[in-house]
């Protein structure tokens, strides 16, 4: 399993554990899953933050 998938799974589990119950828990779990996905992408090098913030900081 890739780093991205591990981080996504961990984010989802933490989101469910943090806010167990109801529609709010579902929304929080999805948000934690997205955060986990972003962290995994950054860890694998598939999401380059320099490309996003490099142009604005180069001025």
Element counts in the chain: helices (H) and strands (E): 3, 0
Range of the domain at 27: 3-57
Determine the pLDDT at residue 28. Answer: 80
Task: Read off the pLDDT band of 19 (50, 70, 90).
Answer: low
Domains in the chain, number? 1
* pTM (global) more than 0.75: no
Q: Give the span between the Cα atoms of 28 and 54, in whole angstroms.
A: 31
Q: What is the mean pLDDT of residues 19-30?
A: 73
Task: Read off the pLDDT band of 56 (50, 70, 90).
Answer: low
Highest mean pLDDT among 7-16, 21-30, 37-46: 37-46
Q: Which two tokens stand for residue 23?
A: 């529609």
Determine the pLDDT at residue 3. Answer: 80
């Amino acid at each position: 399993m890739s780093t991205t998938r591990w981080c996504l799974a961990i984010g989802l589990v933490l989101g469910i554990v943090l806010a167990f119950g109801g529609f709010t828990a579902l929304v929080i779990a999805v948000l934690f899953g997205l955060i986990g996905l972003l962290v995994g992408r950054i860890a694998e090098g598939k999401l380059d933050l320099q490309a996003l913030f490099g142009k604005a900081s180069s001025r």
